[in-house]
Amino acid sequence: MPTPARTSTQAIITAGRMILAREGLDGLTMEKVAAAAGVRAPSLYKRVSGRPELVRLVAGDVVAEVAADLASAASSGDPASDLRAMAYTLRSLAARDPHGFGLLFQPLPAHSAPDPATYAAAVGPLLRVTGELAGPDHALAAARTVTAWASGFLRMELAGGFQLGEDVADAFAYGITLLTEAIAREGGKSASGAGPIRA
Amino acid sequence: MPTPARTSTQAIITAGRMILAREGLDGLTMEKVAAAAGVRAPSLYKRVSGRPELVRLVAGDVVAEVAADLASAASSGDPASDLRAMAYTLRSLAARDPHGFGLLFQPLPAHSAPDPATYAAAVGPLLRVTGELAGPDHALAAARTVTAWASGFLRMELAGGFQLGEDVADAFAYGITLLTEAIAREGGKSASGAGPIRA
DNA sequence: ACCTGAACACCGTTCAAGT
DNA sequence: ACCTGAACACCGTTCAAGT
C-alpha cells in the first residue's frame, strides 16, 4: 500500500545544514537530522546510504553556496579587486557559519567528499582572476597558492590559532595584499599572454 | 596492596601515535590504544581523563616533533633558504605521517587542543626568519601568511584536492618562491630595521 | 512505498571487585 | 595502587512488521 513521502532528500540536506551550523560535525547525528526533518532515523536510509553520504550531501551544499557567493563577488572588472573581494567573501562566510565552512577544509573520508566537479565550479572565477593577473601559464599555480593561503588562514582563525597577539584582521589584509601584488608581478615579468592588470 | 604500573603516560602516547599513523583519528579508540599499550581500556583512565585528553597528548607529541624538525631545518644562515627548507620539511613530514600531520591542522575541540606554548616553540624559528626577511614590523604577519599557505596547501594535498591537473609539486615550489620573494621585497621597501636579505 | 520500534554492534566511560 | 570484567549510554545501521 503506497504512502506519501513525509520528507525529501532536500529537506534532509536543509535539516543537516541547520544541525551542522548549530552543533558542528560531531553533532550531525542521524537521530538529530531525522528529528529536524520530521521522521525517525531509520527513515533516512530511504534517501541516503548512511551518515557518510549525508555528510557528503551537506558538504556539497556548502560548496555550492561558496561557489555562488564567490562568483557574485568577482564582478568588479578589476582582477586585483576581484581577488581581494573573493578573499573577504570567504572570510565572511567563515564568520557566519564556522562549522559549515570548516567542513569544506576538513580531510573527509572518500565517501563523504563532494564531487570534484562541485569544487571546480567554485574555483572557476578564481582561475579567471589569477589568469588575468599572472597570465595563463601561472593561473592554476597562482590559484592554488591563494586557495591554500585563504583556507589555511581561515581554518586557523576558526580553530583559535593566532595566539601571539597583533590583529588577525591586519594579518589577513597583509596576506591578500602580498599575494595579489606578487601574483600580478609574476604576470608582468612574463611575456606569455599576460595583459595589463586591467584586463 | 600496591601493584607495579604496567604502562605509563609516555607509553600510551607512543601507542597513540602508532594507532593514529595506521588508522587515522577515527581509528584512535581507547580500546586499540589500550591494547597497543598492553592494558585494557578502563586502565587508561588512571593516566588520562578520557579520549579528548589522549588526543591532546598525541597532538602535542606531533607538534613537538614538527618543532624539532623545523628548528634543525632553519640553520643555513640565509633566511630565504631557511624559509624554503622549512616549507619542504613540513611537506616531508606530511608525506611520512599524513594522519599525524593532519591532526595539527584539524579544528580540535578545546579539550583536545595542545597548549598554545607548544605551538609557540614550533613557530619560533619561522618568526626569526620572517623577521630577517621582512623586518620586525612585519615578522608576525609574514609568518602568519606563510603558515596559512603551508598548512592549507598540505592539508589540501593530503585530502586529495588539486584535481585540476598540473604538477602539485610545481605548485608548491611556485608558492614558496612567490611568498619568499614577496616577503623579502616587503622588508626591502621599509626602512624600519630591515637588514639586507643576508642577515 | 514509506515509516517505525526493536535489536545489534561499536565505542567511551564508570565502578565494584580483584590482586 | 593499579588493573579488570561487567554494565551503561550513545550512535549508526538493519530488518521484520505496520500502514
d(CA B81, CA A139): 25
Give me the mean pLDDT over the A26-34 stretch.
97
**Among the partner residues B108, B155, B183, nearest to A107 by beta-carbon distance:** B155
pTM, 2 dp: 0.92
CA angle B135–A142–B172, rounded 5-degree value: 75
Residues 6+ apart with CB under 8 A from A107: B102, B106, B155, B158, B159
Contact A149 B144 (CB under 8 A): no
φ, ψ (nearest 5 deg) of residue B56: -60, -45
Mean per-residue pLDDT for A159-187?
A: 93
Does residue A190 surpass a pLDDT of 60? no
Q: What is the DSSP string of A46-102?
A: TTSSSHHHHHHHHHHHHHHHHHHHHHHHS-SS-HHHHHHHHHHHHHHHHHH-HHHHH
Per-residue confidence at B198, pLDDT binned at 50, 70, 90? Answer: very low
How far apart, in whole angstroms, are the C-alpha atoms of residue B21 and residue B12? 14
Minimum distance, in Å, between the CA of residue B15 and any CA atom of chain A: 23
Q: Which nucleotides of D are covered by protein (CB under 7 A)?
A: 1-6, 10-16, 18-19
Between CA A57 and CA B96 the distance in angstroms is 31
User: What domains does chain A contain, in order, with CATH numbers?
Assistant: 1-48 (1.10.10), 55-186 (1.10.357.10)
Range name among A15-24, B39-48, B158-167, B170-179 with the lowest pLDDT average: B158-167
Q: Does residue B25 carry a pLDDT above 90?
A: yes
CB < 7 A to strand D: residues 5-34, chain B: 5-7, 34
Count of Cβ atoms closer than 10 Å to residue B2 Cβ: 4
Q: What pLDDT was estimated at residue A184?
A: 95
DSSP assignment of chain B, as one string? Answer: -----S--HHHHHHHHHHHHHHHHHHH--HHHHHHHHTS-HHHHTTTSSSHHHHHHHHHHHHHHHHHHHHHHHS-SS-HHHHHHHHHHHHHHHHHH-HHHHHHHTS---GGGSPPHHHHHHHHHHHHHHHHHHH-GGGHHHHHHHHHHHHHHHHHHHHTT---S-S-HHHHHHHHHHHHHHHHHHHHHH--SS---S--
A&B contacts, CB < 8 Å: 137
Helix, strand, coil percentages, rounded to 5, for chain A: 75, 0, 25
- CA-to-C1' span, A115 to C2 (A): 29
For A64-109, the pLDDT digits (tens) are 999 999 999 999 999 999 999 999 999 999 999 999 999 987 778 8
B33-60 tens-digit pLDDT: 999 999 999 999 999 999 999 999 999 9
- Cell 553520504: give the residue: A53
Better-scored residue on pLDDT, B198 or B55: B55
Q: Which of B67, B84, B185, B196 is nearest to B132 (CA)?
A: B196
Three-class SS state of A115: coil
Helix A51-73 and helix A30-37, axial crossing angle in degrees, nearest 10? 70
Residues with CB under 7 A from strand C: A 1-7, 34, 39-40, 42-43, 46; B 1, 3, 28-31, 41-42, 45, 50-52
